[in-house]
Structure 1
Amino acid sequence: MAKQVKPLPALEWLQPRLKLSRALSLFNFVALFAVLAIWNLGFADLHGANPWIVISIQLVPLLLLAPGMLLGHARAHAWLCFVVNIYFIQGILAAIDPARSLYGVLQAIISFALFSSALLYTRWRFQYDRKLAGE
């Protein structure tokens, strides 16, 4: 039995979803960046470590994907779905510690929202591009 190909959604259906998912992705991307920076600069007990080194290590994966995110490339959003899992795990581990529970919960929620919105943007963007190509 041959696999049936599902028809692609209409462009009119995809356009508002693309805009919303991209806006949510960018908002959550900036929010995660801000939460990491604010926590490490203001509240984290780093036991004598230089906070700028800790921040730079934590933010390098996000900074590598920032140009693609800002330009709206679907592949950057797809790669972000892989990278953001690191921050989700870190948030869950921080949420277990009573001294960092608020930070951990915020990080986990923001990273989950970022994962979801970036995944939806990737899916809808590829469908949109295929529809534009005449498929």
Structure 2
Amino acid sequence: MAKKAKPLPSLDWLQPRLSLTRGLSLALFLALLLLLLIWNLAFADLHGARTWVILLVELVPLLILAPGVLLGNARAHAWLCFVVNLYFIKGVLAALDPHRSLLGWSEALISLALFCTALLYVRWRFQYDRKLAGE
């Protein structure tokens, strides 16, 4: 016996949630970029490593997704959910080091919030698109 499909929410219910989660995910995305940039340029003790190499390794995954996130592409937000897990893990590991505790907790909290908002945006965006298509 087939299950009855759960009805999609109305467009009026989805629209404000889409706007809120898109705005929050964009703000948190930029906050994570700025945190990594400022930390590595101003506060990081790189022990002789080249700053541009460290910045390249840390920022390229986010910069690859930046065009899609800025345009509000749901698939880019879905991929962002995968990529941001790396920053969460890095933040938790950095939080265990007393010298990088502030960076670690900041990075972990920002990436956790970014994961949640991007995931909600993806879910509601696909529901919105299905509703617009007449489903």
The answer on 1:7 being equivalent to 2:14 is no
1:58 corresponds to which residue?
58
User: Which structure 2 residue ranges, 5 or more long, are not aligned?
Assistant: none
Q: Which amino acid aligns with 2:13?
A: W
1:81 corresponds to which residue?
81
Instruction: Single out whichever of 50-59 and 88-97 deviates more from structure 2.
Output: 50-59
TM-score by structure 1 length?
0.99
Classify the secondary structure of the residue corresponding to 1:42: helix
Q: Deviations over 1:48-76 (max 9, x none)?
A: 01111101110000000000000000000
Q: Which amino acid aligns with 2:107?
A: Q
**Shift of residue 117 of structure 1?**
0.3
Counterpart-to-counterpart distance in 2, 1:40 and 1:3: 52
The root-mean-square deviation of aligned C-alpha atoms, in Å, is: 0.5
**Shift of residue 39 of structure 1?**
0.6
Identical aligned pairs, as a percentage? 70
2:123 corresponds to which residue?
123
Q: Which amino acid aligns with 1:117?
A: T
Counterpart-to-counterpart distance in 2, 1:66 and 1:45: 27
User: Which structure 1 residue ranges, 5 or more long, are not aligned?
Assistant: none
Q: Which amino acid aligns with 1:13?
A: W
**Shift of residue 115 of structure 1?**
0.2
TM-score by structure 2 length?
0.99
Q: Which amino acid aligns with 1:91?
A: G
Question: Which aligned runs of 4 or more in structure 1 are off by greater than 6 angstroms?
Answer: none
